[in-house]
Amino acid sequence: MEAKTQYKSSRRWFLQHWTAIAFTFAFVPLTQSLDYAEALSKSLLYFEAQRSGRLPYNQRATWRHHSGLTDGLDQGVDLVGGYYDAGDNVKFQLPMAFTITMLSWSVIEYGGDIAAAGEYKYALEAIKWGTDYFIKAHTHPHVLWVQVGEGETDHYCWQRPEDMTTSRRAYKIDEKHPGSDVAGETAAALAAASIVFRRTNPHYSHLLLVHAEQLFDFGDKFRGKYDASVGAAKGYYPSLSGYMDELLWAALWLYKATDNSHYLNYALQNAQSFGGITWAISEFSWDVKYAGLQLLASTLSIRQGKGEEELSKILQEYRLKGEHYICACLNQNNKTNVRRTPGGLLYIRQWNNMQYVSNAAFLLMVYSDHLRETNQMARCERRFVGPEEIFAFAKSQVDYILGLNPMGMSYLVGYGPKYPRRVHHRGASLDSYKKKKSFISCTQGYDNWFGRKNPNPNTLTGALVGGPDNKDRFNDHRRNYMQTEACTYNTAPLVGIFAKLHALERDTDIEDSQLFSANK
């Protein structure tokens, strides 16, 4: 009982003490009250708006309708389902798989908090909508369909997904046309999801693992970058980091899912040659996985503590590189730190910067939990950093997203009184198919809707847009796609964060109420 009381007290101290410090240094208004439970609920709703395929009877984003019902037909495969990545109508496997990996990681870390908020069902549905599609797309142990649609023709049109007249050509990787990066990321997503479904649906969990292991073996045996095999992806989701990070990432997730030492040994034996313990990276995204896999590996080091000397040494090297990322976010490296806006937001690059912010906040929060649980600190070049400080900074980034910023703008669509109203999104910016079933042609959307100054007729609730520039400025216009387009992988890591912050806030309220009652 005493230990539990101390733990609760520590949680409340995190919120009250470190939140005040974070806000002071971010120079943002402190008057706005944040509702993390509402943010969690809306973030999960966003994935329903991005669905492709035949929508279920309980679809909550009611302005959407069935779409892409013939995907894969010309190639003789069933590729109906999955998610559109952003504001267009193409299905890109690499970012879609990363989205599912991060959603699954959110549930693995904070599933209890998600359940306590009443959102667990929706989190599992969001994951399963993706994994069901991955199973379809994996038609042979050495074949994975990795794209449906063409970015060039799709971007020429401004159409609802329900009206698509653009090419729905499907692209695959196989033995002669390898794609180790996309195979590895899909394996990681399926392995992580198998952990999520292990208790509630063990048969499905096993099926996911079978596909994950086959895809990992395929990606490892037939190595190559997928954008060299699928030229149509190169202009939209090129694999700039190569495939070695995805293979390490997949191996670590498979180890967590199976406890099979083969996968851990793979990550250890290839740590040097694949860059796992040589790359010190200051960003984490759908393309560059090094920071995520390094921190994932470093938690194994922390949890195992003692063990084989060589194993422990390599895992410690993973930790060293992973903490470089943590320290870069906290501005505690001597040279390579992440820039910040005047309002305190991490700033990597102009186009869709919020993807890096939400991913950073998630990694920071997860790692702060591990450090606190093991009574350790992160070692930065300038000084040691404790879990409380890491947590506080992660929270400051999330609070900036929700409106505690110089513009007073929530960048999570549909949350708060002020949020982006002209999101760069085809379906949201055109009249709902359910209200106006008459066909909207390829160019008609551009002529009659795209340039309108009016807000979108449909709210893309829960979408995290690209966000402000390096001076905290934001221009809410559909043409401004670098700032107003939202992507599934922007929102995915926020699911776990919102759940955790809501749980901390709830526990603090309960404890305060109990203290008040005791003092009556």
Active site residue 424: yes
In a domain, 469, yes or no: yes
- Print burial letters for 446-467: b (CB count within 10 Å at least 16), e (below 16): eeebbeeeeebebbbbbbbbbb
pLDDT (0 to 100) of residue 141: 98
pLDDT class of 509 with cuts at 50, 70, 90: low
Domain span holding position 153: 34-52+66-298+314-511
What is the Cα–Cα distance from 6 to 2, expressed in whole angstroms?
6
Cβ proximity of 11 and 330 under 8 Å: no
Burial class (CB in 10 A: 0-12, 13-18, 19+), 517: exposed
- Closest C-alpha among 245, 256, 130 to residue 192: 256
pLDDT class of 27 with cuts at 50, 70, 90: very low
Q: Could you identify the residue written with the tokens 């793979």?
A: 266
pLDDT (0 to 100) of residue 499: 98
Q: Angle at CA 151, nearest 5°, toward 150 and 157?
A: 100
Cβ proximity of 282 and 336 under 8 Å: yes
Cβ proximity of 52 and 71 under 8 Å: yes
pLDDT (0 to 100) of residue 300: 83
CATH of the domain at 157: 1.50.10.10
In a domain, 267, yes or no: yes
In a domain, 60, yes or no: no
Q: Is the pLDDT of residue 348 over 50?
A: yes
314-321 mean pLDDT = 95
Q: Please give the share of the chain, as a percent, with pLDDT higher than 70.
A: 90
In a domain, 3, yes or no: no
- Closest C-alpha among 306, 295, 317 to residue 394: 295
What is the Cα–Cα distance from 45 to 170, expressed in whole angstroms?
28
The strand pair at 170-173 and 144-148 is best described as antiparallel
CA 324, distance to chain mean position in Å, is 21
Q: Is the pLDDT of residue 240 over 50?
A: yes
What is the Cα–Cα distance from 97 to 119, expressed in whole angstroms?
21
CA 344, distance to chain mean position in Å, is 21
- Print burial letters for 42-71: b (CB count within 10 Å at least 16), e (below 16): bbbbbbbbbbbbebeeeeebebbbebbeeb
In a domain, 227, yes or no: yes
pLDDT class of 30 with cuts at 50, 70, 90: very low
Q: Is the pLDDT of residue 451 over 70?
A: yes
Torsion of CA 386, 387, 392, 393, to 10 degrees: 70
pLDDT (0 to 100) of residue 33: 84
Cβ proximity of 223 and 178 under 8 Å: yes
Lowest-confidence segment of 239-253, 295-309, 394-408 by average pLDDT: 295-309
Lowest-confidence segment of 24-33, 199-208, 489-498, 500-509 by average pLDDT: 24-33
171-219 pLDDT per residue, tens: 999 999 999 999 999 999 999 999 999 999 999 999 999 999 999 999 9
pLDDT (0 to 100) of residue 11: 44
pLDDT (0 to 100) of residue 307: 52
CB atoms under 10 Å from CB of 2, counted, come to 6
284-302 mean pLDDT = 91
Q: Is the pLDDT of residue 518 over 90?
A: no
pLDDT (0 to 100) of residue 434: 87
In a domain, 260, yes or no: yes
19-30 mean pLDDT = 42
What is the Cα–Cα distance from 309 to 325, expressed in whole angstroms?
25
3-state secondary structure 309-328: HHHHHHHHHHHHHHHHHHHH
Q: Is the pLDDT of residue 21 over 60?
A: no
pLDDT (0 to 100) of residue 511: 53
Q: Which residue type does 78 have?
A: D
Lowest-confidence segment of 86-95, 153-162, 310-319 by average pLDDT: 310-319
Q: Is the pLDDT of residue 376 over 70?
A: yes
In a domain, 303, yes or no: no
In sign, the C-alpha dihedral spanning 375, 380, 382, 388 is negative
What six digits make up the tokens of 225? 């970058």
Q: Which of 138, 142, 424, 425 is catalytic?
A: 424
85-125 pLDDT per residue, tens: 999 999 999 999 999 999 999 999 999 999 999 999 999 99
Looking at the DSSP assignment, which residues form a beta bridge with residue 92? 147
In a domain, 153, yes or no: yes
pLDDT (0 to 100) of residue 506: 82
Lowest-confidence segment of 24-28, 297-301, 328-332 by average pLDDT: 24-28
How many CA atoms lie within 13 Å of 474's alpha carbon, on the beta-carbon side? 29
Phi and psi torsions of 484, nearest 5°: -105, -5
How many domains are contained in the chain? 1
